[in-house]
Amino acid sequence: MSKQNCTGGDKSAARVAQLVTLRYDACTQSKKDQARTLELMVRRASKKKTVAEEAEQLRAELRRHEELYYVYDSPEISDAEYDAMLTRLQEIEEAHPELQTPDSPTVRVGGRSAEGFDEFLHRRPMLSLDNSYNIEELRRFDERCRKLAEGRAFDYVAELKIDGLSLSLHYERGVLIAGATRGDGWRGEDVTGNVRTIRSIPLRLKETNGNLGKDLEVRGEAYIARETFERINAEREEASEARFANPRNAAAGTLRQLDPRIVARRKLSFFAYDALAGDRKFFATHREGLQWLERIGFQVNSHRALCSSIEEVIEFCNRMEAERDKLQYEIDGVVVKVNSTALQDEFGQTTKAPRWAIAYKYPARQATTQVLSIVVQVGRTGALTPVANLQPVQLAGTVVARATLHNEDEIRRLDVRVSDWVMIEKSGEIIPKVLKVVEQKRTGAETIFQMPTECPVCGGHVSRPEGEVVARCVAADCPAQLKARLLHFASRRAMRIEGLGEALAEQLIAKKIVGDVADIYNLKVEDVAALERRAEKSATNLLAQIERSKTRDLNNLIFGLGLRHVGERTAGILARNFRSLERLAATSVEELDAVHEIGLTVAERVRDWFDDPTNGRLCERLRAAGVRTEMEASVARSGDAPLAGKQFVLTGKLPTMTRDEAQAVIEAQGGRVASSVSKKTDYVVAGDDAGSKLDKAIQLGVEVLDEPQLLEILNGQMDETREVA
């Protein structure tokens, strides 16, 4: 225990000592002096923090700096200062375990290398790239390369610059043994446990090509797809956590999570772009290296071009800039590389970057425009979302007229007012976001926006519980909520009822034909055809769609019911674990909480939803209408969770993985890890010193795997689910 901890530890003793000294000093002085000294001492005494207060303050400060770092991309302090604060908090918590909180930054270290990760020394430095920002700079790069090639002809490979963070992966005899971040290029962090949860990273290579796979380093970019990024931010908002500013920050924050299970849940992806053996490249061309990486099981981005001139490179850059929004992930430019590895070696490198490659950076997609008004939308859970209506402006090929402001706190943080000029940006999110206010353009005529205290649609009461960022309309019969619920229920990833769009939902609600989602199943052709602008043919089509929706899978139904905190992924977990709506409805908070990946908050919300008698009746009416509420066997084999339904038991010490890592990898693919062997167990994974669990497995005839066999199963599954780039 440190000296600081001893002195600061006993709050009451320190306080009494101060007061005694204070009284003693006061007696020896004149009345006036006494009064002044007393005042000073009281001030000093009240300034002296207790350890509990210090810990609380450190936690708040650390959280603020994490947010500045990850969310706003604008750190105020150095890494060293951050680490010093974190270390102090760790010291306090070690000395006073009663002061530990489950959400302390010491358990969920949001980023910097704390005690969590070992240092990883890169065998070859992970260099950076020189940047070019326009075509002229790209042409100058070409001229430099031509000069270095001294008249020899050569090609370039142009590939996308993925906006994530680089990783170095090490394979020994075809098995992944380590994964590290770039760090400063020389020293990174050993994040092997986290890397193993990334499904696009093979744990075992498909073929090792003799010597090539013996000792292999693969470099590439870990990233978070746009859709996943949206999901993570929605979940964070629900949990009153700050949103990540962009997918890159989300990927960086995720890779440095100490708990690999959180990493598994966040679903990172990986594109490989380089293969090295020992300290050399083993293919004559970069292109062949990429093709080999694909063959041995990596995702290599398919948007790449072999270019025999810089003009072809420029054409690729322009084409991909136009296609940028169609990609499922963020890019920030194109990387241009000399194809011949012999020439690469000849050209060499500076201390910072290779001479044979350059990044062509796309300009930031930002624009300034004026906020015409701020309106509030009401979502299916009653959440009020402020949205800025903008003076329409061209941004990266589209006209933007709206930007989300997320919530009241975000409006206050940005200090956005109606009539303000704002800078907006497209980055990762589908709807552009407001980056900042252009304060120089303020005239004084701007008006501060107030969140409504009543629902703007139904006039119902709005509540924002303490500590939450989301304000909600709590009226049960709010038509805006009902409309959002209907649209969500009918959406593609839920019950997929095509034809049930916004206009029809509004008509059905206004005419009081539909009062909840179950009413959809009572609709008759005449009901729909009688509505304004509805023909009988489209009504018949709609009813056919509704009929078909009755056989959607249980996970789609659970997702469609729109329980708070239950997104598509959680709905899948609930469906796989409980296999029917009835069983789910009858499950206690404890049972729900015991399901891996379901936390207490979700467990409580799920229970709350089913405890509401209106929802109970809704489920009953859905079932009575013929909606399937049982899980279909095929879902267990769905691509989303290749090991869904498979139960594993781990025993003994595995050669390269810790138990937590093995569990995280299995669970990342939908499998479950149980603590004891039974007839229900599909596989027992046994390492050294396996004990009675192994005996039981043999006795019950359960299949026993060693680590390489486990990796094969995990890998085999990965092949089936590989995304096509």
Least separation in angstroms between CB 353 and ligand IVH: 6
707: exposed, middle or buried (Cβ count in 10 Å: 0-12, 13-18, 19+)? buried
Nearer to ligand IVH, 83 or 137 (CB): 137
Residue nearest to ligand IVH (CB): 166
Nearer to ligand IVH, 273 or 449 (CB): 273
Nearer to ligand IVH, 93 or 159 (CB): 159
Query: First-to-last CA distance in the chain?
Result: 54
Least separation in angstroms between CB 143 and ligand IVH: 20
Which of 52, 42, 37 shows the shortest CA–CA distance to 15?
42
Q: How large is the angle between the packed helices 479-490 and 554-561, nearest 10 degrees?
A: 160
Helices (H), ranges, 111-173? 135-149
Nearer to ligand IVH, 131 or 541 (CB): 131
Nearer to ligand IVH, 283 or 421 (CB): 283
Active-site residue identified among 3, 47, 147, 161: 161
Nearer to ligand IVH, 375 or 725 (CB): 725
Q: What is the DSSP string of 473-515?
A: E--TT-HHHHHHHHHHHHSTTTT--TT--HHHHHHHHHTTS-S
Distance CA 450, CA 376 (A): 10
Least separation in angstroms between CB 362 and ligand IVH: 13
Least separation in angstroms between CB 290 and ligand IVH: 10
230: exposed, middle or buried (Cβ count in 10 Å: 0-12, 13-18, 19+)? middle
Type of residue at 301: N
Nearer to ligand IVH, 49 or 186 (CB): 186
Which of 592, 591, 584 shows the shortest CA–CA distance to 629?
584
Q: How large is the angle between the packed helices 79-95 and 51-66, nearest 10 degrees?
A: 140
Which of 646, 618, 644 shows the shortest CA–CA distance to 560?
618
Distance CA 540, CA 546 (A): 10
Least separation in angstroms between CB 127 and ligand IVH: 4
Distance CA 532, CA 439 (A): 48
Least separation in angstroms between CB 333 and ligand IVH: 8
Scan for tokens 């450190």, then name that residue: 58
Using the 8-state DSSP alphabet, how is residue 68 labeled?
I
Q: How many Cβ atoms from other residues are within 10 Å of residue 69's Cβ?
A: 22
> What is the chain's percent helix, strand, coil content, to nearest 5?
45, 20, 35
Nearer to ligand IVH, 166 or 246 (CB): 166
Q: Is 161 a residue of the active site?
A: yes
Distance CA 179, CA 190 (A): 6
Nearer to ligand IVH, 8 or 111 (CB): 111
Least separation in angstroms between CB 356 and ligand IVH: 9
List residues binding ligand IVH (CB under 6 A): 127-129, 159, 161-162, 166, 182, 221, 273, 335, 354, 357, 359
- C-alpha to C-alpha distances, 501 to 127, 487, 562, nearest whole angstrom: 51, 7, 17
Least separation in angstroms between CB 337 and ligand IVH: 7
Contact 663, 670 (CB under 8 A): no
Q: How many Cβ atoms from other residues are within 10 Å of residue 667's Cβ?
A: 22
Least separation in angstroms between CB 248 and ligand IVH: 10
Would you please indicate which residues are annotated as catalytic (active-site) residues?
161
